[in-house]
Amino acid sequence: MSQVFNPYLPSWEYIPDGEPHVFGDRVYVYGSHDRFNAPIFCVNDYVCWSAPVNDLSAWTCSGTIFKKNQDPMNRLGLRILFAPDVAQGPDGRYYLYYAFDFLGVIGVAVCDTPDGQYAFYGHVHFPDGKIWGRRKGDEFPFDPAILVDDDGRVWLYSGFETPVPAVMSRFRGHRNSGGVVLELERDMVTVKAGPKLLFPLKTNQETPAPEDFRGHEFFEASSIRKIDRKYVFVYSSTHNHELCWAYSNRPDGDFRFGGTLVDLGDLHLNGNTDERHAANYLGNTHGGMACLQGEWYIFYHRQTNRHSYSRQACAERLERTPEGGFLQAEVTSCGLNGGPLNGLGRYEARIACNLWSAEGTARYDRKFDKEKHPYFTQTGKDRETNGDQYIANMRSGALAGFKYFDLSAPARIRLEVSGHAKGSMEVALDPAFKQIIATVPIACDQTQAIAKADGELQPVSGKQALFFRYVGEGALSFHAFELI
């Protein structure tokens, strides 16, 4: 079994909004499909990745499972597929729920296998045939999450914070009250009851959010699981860069706030709430939970390429509380690995979980000075399997952090870098660089050519993080490092 890194899919793959589901002995991830360096979200068609639950390093792609132009509302393919979810219906078939960007309807496709070719099935509609989202006053359909309960009842969750202009939705009568639930018939597409408001928005004046949600109110990214006979709802909060959870004894009400599960910049951990000095660059995130070999994980996505349109799939193990709750996970480089990475071998810089400039971090959904900040990017075009993903634009004071390694064995470190840069790369065990264990001279004068630079490591032991800080002139591209 090989090691598993974050992001856990190949470097050339960009799957955000990942919903993990275990069917049989495999875990399947259903997500949107970004394109490298695209100008907008989710340009590509849906694909499905899966892995054996007992080998989370062996991810394989089943190829395209649903194309955007299969829906009769999008024959020209001009609309783009946003975050999906999948559930096995009472009839044993698999049902894929999706939303076309801001069209304001939920589509359903069906397949006999989890990762086969899905066929268009219909749009979620009321018993009279009227499509949900086409009646005046309908809550805006967005980010579907689906649950088939133990008793066969079917629950659909949805919601979005931002009011959508009529020019985008092609309908003028939508409401945006918050996260809602609908009960569907066993046919998986006809509304039986609802929608019912569960999670009021921060801006909802008619129905304010409950006190325990204050500061973490619902924004988008609905996801639902049943865990230990409780209904656990995962969502993106008004911060937009964290996934939170809520829980209830019933699927259609009385949810209480549980806490933060993961934040892209580790905000809310150790009391830090400063978005300018997060552990990583910030943007939206979306995901769900899965139990893999007795351990619970939260799946989410990170940002790359200095924008929110080339996002990649990550996951972290969740620790449980004595009461059965979940603690906030730290973002790491080894989320699905089951422990620290080996202290010997070559590691690509793309698995860094911490990244910031000398001035801190930024939010990719807001204006910032791009020239000052390092970022993940790649050579080649979208889905070129021989491309090289790396950290670009590391200027003096920029830091890349990797968590965690077993550092009992290595005695030397070798860096692979490029760019126009002269200075040194400091290697430390802590982000404040109080425990520097190596200083490697850097001298690069060609943007494309990869140079190797060696340095000695001071002996350390046990589970450790590694932080790399460039100090010097010019801009450095960090490709990889090798522990020897």
Give the model confidence (pLDDT) of 108-166 as tens digits: 999 999 999 999 999 999 999 999 999 988 999 999 999 999 999 999 999 998 776 65
Where is 444: in which H helix or E strand? strand 436-456
Spatial contact of 182 and 155, defined as CB atoms under 8 Å apart: yes
At position 369, the amino acid (one-letter code) is: D
Query: Which of these, 179, 22, 132, lies nearest to 86 by C-alpha position?
Result: 22
17 is catalytic: yes
Q: How far apart are CA 177 and CA 198, in angstroms?
A: 9
At position 203, the amino acid (one-letter code) is: T
Using the structure block, give the residue that is written with the tokens 């509304």.
191
Q: How far apart are CA 217 and CA 201, in angstroms?
A: 6
Residue of 13, 17, 115, 426 marked active site: 17
Spatial contact of 327 and 319, defined as CB atoms under 8 Å apart: yes
Q: How far apart are CA 131 and CA 134, in angstroms?
A: 6
Strand order in the sheet with 119-123: 85-88, 94-99, 106-111, 119-123
Domains of the chain, each with CATH number or no CATH: 19-317 (2.115.10.20), 345-483 (2.60.120.260)
pLDDT of residue 168: 60
β-pair partners for 99: 106
Query: Which of these, 115, 102, 157, 383, lies nearest to 288 by C-alpha position?
Result: 157
Spatial contact of 217 and 204, defined as CB atoms under 8 Å apart: no
With a cut of 70, which residues of the chain have pLDDT below it?
164-172
454 is catalytic: no
Query: Do β-strands 94-99 and 307-317 pair in parallel, antiparallel, or remain unpaired?
Result: unpaired
For the chain, state the CA radius of gyration. 23
Q: How far apart are CA 70 and CA 67, in angstroms?
A: 6
pLDDT of residue 411: 87
pLDDT of residue 170: 62
For the entire predicted model, the pTM comes to 0.97
Q: How many CB atoms lie within 10 A of CB 357?
A: 22
Structure tokens at 222: 């609905």
Spatial contact of 68 and 74, defined as CB atoms under 8 Å apart: yes
Residue of 71, 138, 217, 220 marked active site: 220
Structure tokens at 154: 């079917």
